[in-house]
Structure 1
Amino acid sequence: MGRAAVYIDGANLFFTQRHLGWQIDFSRLMAFFLSVYASVEANYYVPASSPLSPENAAFSRVLTAHGYRIISKPVKKIVNKETGVVIMKGNLDVELVVDALSGAEQYDAFILFSGDSDFIPLLRALKKKGKDVIVYSTQGLSARELLEEPGIAYHDLALLKERIEQVRSAEPMRSDGVAVGVDQDFSLPLPDIGQTFTGSVLKVQPYGIFLSNPFHVKCLLPLSFLGISKYISDLTAIVRITDVFEVVVFHVNADRDIAEITVKLVDKKMADELTSRIKG
């Protein structure tokens, strides 16, 4: 199935969703790619508004909870000295390109969400490196040069509506390209220490497992809290993307922009299963 890296041009995707007339459910989008690839690294590039609004903070929580890494930088205000017109600038194309090239050894398939032809040199460079290159956008907002570029697998998001549409959202789309496609609940409480829940695997690191959770926060199940008696230096060798973990909340850190929780495994059967995989 291979390893996939998803790179999302957030500002471009905002206009794509507005053109389509529906919004993306980013949890469903992640699930879609996890059904195709063995592992998925998802990166969301978006200008950062200041101060951070409650809507944008909630959107960041949702993205992080479902395994997305958010890359942002402050929006710059550029004033035309002749006209006095203020132009807002917050392009992250360079950051996306640098990250994609520097991390190319970590993935087999490069997936871009953008219809911008400025990314064609990047796509060509990745093709030369032997990567599968896939682009998601929609007709009418995709550059002709991008559609005609050989060796690129282009997919129209309109054809994925049934798989990835945000079906419950009644929120209006925002103009800043940030809070898009999420059914947000700003009053969603953080969990209590000792509270239990079941989470599926979002990402596996050598030191721990990041889990989905009902609180829309960053959730880490550390290696030391798995109850494995055998020594293991790298969890990626034994944890599968289809695994499900029953855990208990051990620590809650609400001091960050995106709250984080640390959990412990309470399912002895799963601990025994992981131990057996080490033996195997």
Structure 2
Amino acid sequence: MKQTLNNFAYIDAANLYRGISHLGWQLDYAKFRVWLKEKYSVARAYLFIGLVPKYNDLYTSLQEAGFTLVFKETTCDGEGRIKGNCDADLVLKTVVDYYEKKFDKAILISSDGDYSSLAKFLKEKCVLRILVSPSNKCSFLLRKINIPILYLETQRGILEISQKEKAPGRD
């Protein structure tokens, strides 16, 4: 009998979106959620995301696809760009879940070197399953700690949104 794992994914939504967009394609989030469950036995996928009211339809579709959204209040930088820095929230949630023994293995989804300390911590505790990098330019800070990394570009054929579809709330 196959053992069911209780793995959690911790996703930096802005990094995921920017990384995939930079590669020139759109991610089908519903397919991505199924892929996480089937490939890595992800029982819960936390998506850390800035809260922008005009994207309510997007948030609804992400929840319907099976993501647990963790919202961060947004601010604007000096040039009017929306910022919803979720890094600290993602790190804290992951570490709390580890100490509360909520998951068997963690999957980090980001290419941001700010998560290198978290990745090292999870590796030392033997609970890091893999780092999934949305960008082919994954930070050297993550690459140098000798952890398993999967580049999402290698899964493009499976995870790309078809030309007929369009992500809700996105133009």
TM-score category of the 2 structures, normalised to the smaller one: 0.7 to 0.9
* Cα distance in 1, alignment partners of residues 26 and 120 from structure 2: 30
* Cα distance in 2, alignment partners of residues 46 and 66 from structure 1: 15
Tell me by how many angstroms 1:140 deviates: 4.2
TM superposition score normalised by structure 1: 0.54
Partner of 2:70: 71
* Residue aligned with 2:92, SS: helix
* Cα distance in 2, alignment partners of residues 158 and 100 from structure 1: 25
Asked if the contact 1:123–1:133 (Cα under 8 Å) also holds between the matched residues in 2, the reply is no
Tell me by how many angstroms 1:19 deviates: 1.6
Tell me by how many angstroms 1:139 deviates: 5.2
TM superposition score normalised by structure 2: 0.85
Higher relative contact order (CA 8 A, sep 6+): 2
Counterpart of 2:83 (choices 67, 89, 97) is 89
* Residue aligned with 1:36, SS: helix
Asked if the contact 2:15–2:134 (Cα under 8 Å) also holds between the matched residues in 1, the reply is no
Tell me by how many angstroms 1:46 deviates: 1.2
Partner of 2:145: 149
**Structure 1 segments unaligned to the other structure (5+ residues):** 80-84, 172-181, 186-280
Partner of 2:46: 43
One-letter amino acid matched to 1:13:
L
Query: Does the C-alpha gap of structure 1 residues 12 and 39 become closer, same or farther in structure 2, counting only changes over 3 Å?
Result: closer
Partner of 1:114: 110
Partner of 1:163: 158
Asked if the contact 2:119–2:142 (Cα under 8 Å) also holds between the matched residues in 1, the reply is no
* Residue aligned with 2:27, SS: coil
Tell me by how many angstroms 1:145 deviates: 2.1
1:98 and 2:77 correspond: no
Partner of 1:136: 132
> Which of 1 and 2 has greater Rg?
1
Query: Does the C-alpha gap of structure 1 residues 159 and 75 become closer, same or farther in structure 2, counting only changes over 3 Å?
Result: same
Structure number with the higher helix fraction is 2
**Structure 2 segments unaligned to the other structure (5+ residues):** none
* Cα distance in 2, alignment partners of residues 101 and 73 from structure 1: 18
Root mean square deviation, CA, Å: 2.1
Structure number with the higher strand fraction is 1
* Cα distance in 1, alignment partners of residues 57 and 81 from structure 2: 27
CA deviations on 1:171-222 (whole Å, 9 max, x unpaired) are 4xxxxxxxxxx2x39xxxxxxxxxxxxxxxxxxxxxxxxxxxxxxxxxxxxx
One-letter amino acid matched to 1:43:
Y
* Residue aligned with 1:35, SS: helix
Partner of 2:20: 17
* Cα distance in 2, alignment partners of residues 86 and 19 from structure 1: 21
Task: Give the number of aligned pairs.
Answer: 164
